[in-house]
Amino acid sequence: MFKLLLTILVSASIDSTMLFIGDQTNMHLQATCEPAEKVQMPVYGESLINGIEIVDRTAVDTTVLQDGKYQLSQTLTLTSFKDSLFYINPIPFVSGEDTFWSNSLSLNVIQPFEIDSTLAITDIKPVAKAPIWWWGIFRWILLGLLLAGLAVGARYLALFIGRRKGVIPLAPKEPERPAEEVALEKLDQIKEQKIWQTGQVKEYHTQLTDVVREYIGKRFEVSSSEKTSDETLRAMKPILAEQKDLYEKLRKMLSLADLVKFAKWTTTPDENELSLKTAYDFVHETTPVPEEENEKMVNK
């Protein structure tokens, strides 16, 4: 929806008007004006309104349209840890002495789990992020890649010279272990350690989700480790289209882990055991069936 005032058009839109606590969605701000006009995009701090936090934002991007007008756009990544229906008032865009107002928006944040009122209330605080020195990190990465390249080159050169002289035989490449075998082995270790019983609940759920995300990456070629839980679920939804119960179990496990890691959620022993069982079930039910066993099942 656009609001037309003079020659300036402004708008605001949101990717999803409903999300679970701790999930993220993007809000897009846009202004279209003549080349001679200057529009000041809205400026926000760490929050959009009370209860909605801004976790990331893009720089203002300027695009020249076919009719010669300028289009300014910016994307804000939003999240919330409060179960509520939020009303976002029209957003002001300033041009000179005039103010242009966008359309209003709403965001419904849902609590996916039943709240145990007998548990103590835990404060929710935003995670403080230290400034990142990108150039310094980039230089160290380049240095590391250079040293790694020299080491690999020297090794292959030594192997090549050794084979030419008949000294070093070519070692056979070890086959890569199946993704389900690696995942089940790590889950067995987590099950044996039971670190949540010693109060390390956050570490426990982090280890569980890391195993599941690594398995998803190897089994389905979905880079889950680089995605948020919401992005991972969107990528897995068409893959698990015929396994809706399994998809729902995965969603609950990832959502609970996000609450524990980011909202200091206090879990029960049953919830901890259920998350481990869900991880086992997910690996077992998505493990490929060997062709011989599959033919036997079909013949039966």
Residue 151 lies in a domain: no
Q: Which domain holds residue 235?
A: 179-289
* 21 in Cβ contact with 110 (< 8 Å): yes
The CA distances from residue 178 to 77, 175, 183, 225, 250, in Å, are: 37, 9, 9, 18, 21
Q: What is residue 170's predicted lDDT score, i.e. its pLDDT?
A: 52
Q: Which of 65, 89, 110 is the last residue of a domain?
A: 110
Asked if residue 148 is part of any domain, the answer here is no
Q: Report whether 80 contacts 109 (CB < 8 A).
A: yes
pLDDT tens profile 260-278? 888 888 888 899 899 999 9
For the segment 108-137, what is each residue's pLDDT rounded down to a tens digit? 999 886 666 666 665 555 566 677 777 778
Question: Which residue, among 227, 247, 223, has the nearest Cα to 237 in the 3D structure?
Answer: 247
Q: Which backbone phi and psi does 76 adopt, to 5 degrees?
A: -110, 130
**Does some domain include residue 9?**
yes
Alpha carbon distances (Å) from 228 to 213, 234, 241, 262: 10, 10, 20, 12
Beta bridge partners of 57: 76
The enclosing domain of 24 has a CATH number of 2.60.40.10
Burial of 79 (0-12, 13-18, 19+ CB in 10 A): buried
Final residue before a domain boundary, out of 110, 143, 159? 110
Which one of 110, 130, 149 terminates a domain?
A: 110
Answer yes or no: is 126 within a domain.
Answer: no
